Amino acid sequence: MFPAPMTRAFALAAFAVLIAVPSAAAQERTIALVGGQLLDGYEAPPIHHAAVVIEGNRIVAVGPAAEIEIPADAEIIDTRGKTMMPGMVDAHVHIMILGHGDYSQWFPWFEGNDDLVYETSARQLLAAGVTAGVDLAAPMSSLAFRDRVNRNEVPGPRLLVSGPWVTRYAWDFLPDELRVLHRTPEEAAERTRMLIDAGVDVIKTWIGTTEEDMRAIKAVAGPAGVPIHCHVYEEEVVWGAIRGGCDVLQHAGSGGSVPAYSQELVDYIAMEGIPVVQTISHRIWIYPATLEFPERLWDPDIINSFPPPIREQVLASYTKDDFWRKPYFRSTPRQIRNSERASRQFIDADALMAMGTDTGSPLNFHAESAWREVSALVDMGMTEIEAISSATKVAAEVLGLRETGTIEPGKLADIIVVDGNPLFDINVLGYVTDVVKDGIIYKRNGVPVWEMEAAQASTGGDR
């Protein structure tokens, strides 16, 4: 049984004065999280009754609270009865989509509303405990948004972005700015150079990319130090991506989207340490969960996190209880039948696996995608501590974000607090009460700071 939560109204009143609007000045504060269980991101036993001290945007002390000197001027976050852990790192994010049920309707509406969508996605992810991630497909406008969020000008996880994906395939209703098309390996290399010159952090290859294309892309991206994330499903496509120089395999073994791979392929990936981001929950866990409980589509904690224009769009896409007829889910029952073996393969082989959600895809809301993915990994055979490490330390290392992902002195202060013990029940990751990113408090006692700002504005300021 969880402790009775503080009401949102009371929390707003109690903490409006304590939580400053995120700013450069906020990073000069000293913060101490004190009293709860600590998971540091490693596959190691927890520290009980622990404390973490933050100065500016860095962690300076970690250990049992009885052994840590808490500075007199520190702002205290009481974590007794809760668990402190690194902010989750999502290795497959989509900030241009928000769980809408029909891409053919969403993308035309998105054009001209990109900043509103990006900001909404970023806030939802951060409030859910995702403090870093890589966005894998959005227009070039996502680069400017990345810079704003990484400067803490708007709330959101620290971001890496790919910009448009590199592909030979033109999906009819996709906006042109979401893809850079090529017909030859030479054109693939040219498009890759264009994206790198524009400032992308990673390259994403999508459907239709051949092994020859991959080699041409790698010849440009490799020397530039830009990793390649490859959208792959079928076995021969995975092999081609590997031979061509792919750095991260995205969707491989994604919950039975294709029959299970040969043991030769799985063993090769595991032995070579090629990172795998499965995204297993985005259809085969979320689909049956919604069949069993369609009320989740109207969960106030999700729906109220959308500004009205987006809320109207999302709700309109699920006006009937027949979402299973939508094109996105036509093959999902077959995927579910194949899922157990396909999803377990890489876990059983002890492959290098980073948590990634494909968040924003239909039914896959940013507000809950991370905990659902970690829970699915546990369902498929990971221990709770392995799954948490996959969602923190491992994902951060796979993305090259080595200053985050663990809680230890010297690291960036990206820390979340969850209400309960995820080593007993992994689903308590869905109860994120506090979020600190880059030394700034963005959520306190279950209430994001932007909700506090809105409440203060509606009442004319502090009382």
Q: Which tens digits make up the pLDDT trace of 356-379?
A: 999 999 999 999 999 999 999 999
The pTM of the full predicted model, rounded to 2 decimals, is: 0.93
Residue 201 lies in a domain: yes
Residue 115 lies in a domain: yes
Residue 2 lies in a domain: no
Q: Which two tokens stand for residue 222?
A: 């490799």
Please indicate, yes or no, whether residues 306 and 174 belong to a single structural domain of this protein: yes
From CA 330, how far away is CA 98, in angstroms rounded?
20
The CATH number given to whatever domain includes residue 19 is 2.30.40.10
Q: How many domains does the chain have?
A: 2
Give me the residues of the chain with pLDDT under 70, please.
1-27, 172-173, 255-257, 320-321, 456-463
Please indicate, yes or no, whether residues 301 and 419 belong to a single structural domain of this protein: no
Residue 240 lies in a domain: yes
Please indicate, yes or no, whether residues 69 and 110 belong to a single structural domain of this protein: no
Please indicate, yes or no, whether residues 69 and 201 belong to a single structural domain of this protein: no
Please indicate, yes or no, whether residues 241 and 293 belong to a single structural domain of this protein: yes
Composition of the chain by helix, strand, coil, percent to 5: 40, 20, 40
Phi, psi of 373 (to 5 degrees): -65, -45
Q: Give yes or no for a contact between 94 and 50, defined as CB atoms under 8 angstroms apart.
A: no
Please indicate, yes or no, whether residues 73 and 110 belong to a single structural domain of this protein: no
pLDDT on residue 177: 77
Domain edge (last residue) among 398, 424, 443: 398
Find residue 159's DSSP bridge partners: 133
pLDDT on residue 459: 66
Q: How far is CA 139 from CA 94, 127, 142, 145, 304, in A?
A: 11, 24, 6, 11, 26
Burial of 24 (0-12, 13-18, 19+ CB in 10 A): exposed
pLDDT in tens, 73-94: 999 999 999 999 999 999 999 9
Domain edge (last residue) among 398, 416, 440: 398
| Longest pairwise C-alpha distance within the chain | 66
pLDDT on residue 283: 86
Please indicate, yes or no, whether residues 203 and 254 belong to a single structural domain of this protein: yes
pLDDT on residue 170: 76
pLDDT in tens, 5-27: 444 443 444 444 334 445 545 56
Please indicate, yes or no, whether residues 206 and 82 belong to a single structural domain of this protein: no
Please indicate, yes or no, whether residues 390 and 415 belong to a single structural domain of this protein: no
- Helix (H) / strand (E) element for 78: namely strand 75-78
Residue 1 lies in a domain: no
**Beta strand extents in 22-70 (DSSP E only):** 30-34, 37-38, 50-55, 58-64
Burial of 315 (0-12, 13-18, 19+ CB in 10 A): middle
Residue 108 lies in a domain: yes
The CATH number given to whatever domain includes residue 266 is 3.20.20.140
The helix/strand/coil state of 449 is: helix
Nearest-10 crossing angle of helices 114-127, 141-150: 40
Domain edge (last residue) among 374, 398, 422: 398
Please indicate, yes or no, whether residues 232 and 250 belong to a single structural domain of this protein: yes
Residue-range definition of the domain harbouring residue 80: 8-87+407-458
Residue 370 lies in a domain: yes
Residue 277 lies in a domain: yes
Please indicate, yes or no, whether residues 383 and 426 belong to a single structural domain of this protein: no
Please indicate, yes or no, whether residues 279 and 346 belong to a single structural domain of this protein: yes
